[in-house]
Amino acid sequence: MSRTIHLALHPYGVGGPGQHGLWKDPRVAKNASIDIDYYIKQAQAAEHALFDALFIVDSQFINATYPAHYLNRLEPLTLLSAVATHTRHIGLVGTASSTYNSPFNLARRFASLDLISKGRAGWNVVTSFDTGTARNYGLDEHLDYATRYARALEFVQVARGLWDSYEDDAFPADVERGVFLDPAKLHALNHEGEHFKVAGPLNTSRSPQGQPVIFQAGVSEEGRDLAARVAEGIYAPGGSLEQAQEYYADIKRRTAAHGRDPEHIKIFIHGGPVVAATDEAARRREREIHDEDNDFDRNLALLGRSFGAYDFSVHDLDAPFPDVAHLAEKGGRTGAAKIIERAREQGLTLRQVAQSVNEFRHSPFVGAPETVADTIEQWFGAGTFDGINLAFRTHDELDLFVDGVVPILQKRGLFRTEYTADTLRGHLGLPVPANRYANARAEG
């Protein structure tokens, strides 16, 4: 098989959504989410297993109902810069909002990470999910969908323009001639658009991979279109095999429609494997994990996140699901719309909807190592993903996957047996973007 699977690791810390009780596990340090040694250990284990990337999620709004990991965690770019100095190969992907950042500052921070890591940085572009974030940035309310995604597109375009400020050979550093910089190869952007006005240039040179890799998690129509236009990696929603196939085909189709090579966008689905000695033991453990975290009050709070951290506890739990459609536009619109539609079609109460938020659903990647490897191979061959973004509750569970499943995938020719590149683009088989100014000179 010519195609091989890409694997990324998404650390849980002390527990995110659906893992509220993870901090109670004696194997989990209570300060894991703010302990840089925890992340370094995770990254080194993933690098030892030849994973493509370490992926750090983020959000900038909390209240007391949020999962433990959200309440007290490190800022992604600071974290990844520290991890970069303790790893050599693994890609380093951080989440940052295009709604609540400045293009110049964020472009500079990612360019710095790219240089610190020698070409391993990636930016997961989000438009922000929690409407409460707006109030942390002096705004009364979250921007609407159309504005957020138009801003995100322009933001990425500006960042890429700034990352081209220097051509690759802009610094001759010729002592004899007294020439450190070739000024002809330094370029101001002078961007003036609908959302941003940025002069440039950026005071950071290009890395060995040219520019950081752009990731995105598009689910809505606007999100899918943004991903198809600018993303080089996507964190996909997953779901059933059929749903994953539909999403994969749709994104590849949209990418081609925008004049891009569909092979230059790598789609990762979420995977939370549970590996044990037997299929029965793994399924039993999967059920135990669900039951450990199936708390009604937490589920009610989790439901509120899809509607901009709305507090549903103010409503009668046994009355019909309330009319909150107006909150979806500035929250997680796609997921919220599905919740509203199902509640209306089935006549569900608020209590029933909240109970369904954490309803037990079998994961496809559960079983003995051979079973998990079989399922991964089946899904990969069926056109559902290019890679899997893996999340494990504990380091022990990561080890079970690395020691049990990875060797089987390698034996079948589905996963690398050594790193053949030093950059994240190299791992993912993505081209190095040519500097636009050098390109124009060569063509002119």
Cα 388 versus chain centre, distance: 11
- 57/9 Cα distance (integer angstroms): 11
pLDDT, residue 330, reads 58
Positions in the chain whose pLDDT score sits under 50: 1
Residues 343 and 378: beta-carbon distance below 8 Å: no
Instruction: Give the global pTM.
Output: 0.91
A 10 A CB-CB count for 185 gives 18
- Strands 197-198, 191-192: pairing is antiparallel
- 273/11 Cα distance (integer angstroms): 13
- 16/71 Cα distance (integer angstroms): 10
- 365/161 Cα distance (integer angstroms): 41
User: pLDDT digit string (tens) for 411-438?
Assistant: 999 999 999 999 999 999 999 999 999 9
Q: Which residues contact 220 (CB under 8 A, 6 or more apart)?
A: 145, 333, 334
- 287 phi, psi to nearest 5 deg: -70, -40
- 126/142 Cα distance (integer angstroms): 13
User: pLDDT digit string (tens) for 41-53?
Assistant: 999 999 999 999 9
At which residue do the structure tokens 């893996």 appear? 390
- Strands 233-236, 387-390: pairing is unpaired
- 277 phi, psi to nearest 5 deg: -65, -35
A 10 A CB-CB count for 367 gives 24
User: pLDDT digit string (tens) for 71-91?
Assistant: 999 999 999 999 999 999 999
Nearest to 27 by CA among 396, 286, 392: 396
92: β partners: 54, 121
DSSP, residue by residue, 114-165: HHHTTS-EEEEEE--S-TTHHHHTT-SSPPPHHHHHHHHHHHHHHHHHHHTS
Cis peptide, bond prior to residue 320, ω within 30 of zero:
no
- 169/270 Cα distance (integer angstroms): 40
- Strands 91-97, 121-126: pairing is parallel
The 8-class DSSP code of residue 21 comes to: T
Cα angle 114, 127, 162 (rounded to 5 degrees) comes to 40
Type and span of the H or E element at 436: helix 436-443
A 10 A CB-CB count for 4 gives 17
- 61/280 Cα distance (integer angstroms): 40
Superfamily of domain 6-280+361-443: Luciferase-like domain (3.20.20.30)
Q: What is the CA radius of gyration of the chain?
A: 22
User: pLDDT digit string (tens) for 336-385?
Assistant: 888 888 888 899 899 998 888 777 788 899 999 999 999 999 999 999 99
pLDDT, residue 141, reads 85
pLDDT, residue 70, reads 93
pLDDT, residue 1, reads 46
Q: Which residues contact 17 (CB under 8 A, 6 or more apart)?
A: 67, 302, 305
Cα angle 296, 22, 46 (rounded to 5 degrees) comes to 135
CATH 3.20.20.30, the chain: domain bounds: 6-280+361-443
- The one-letter code for the residue type at 188 is A
If phi > 0 it is left, if psi is from -120 to 50 it is alpha, else beta; for residue 278 that is beta
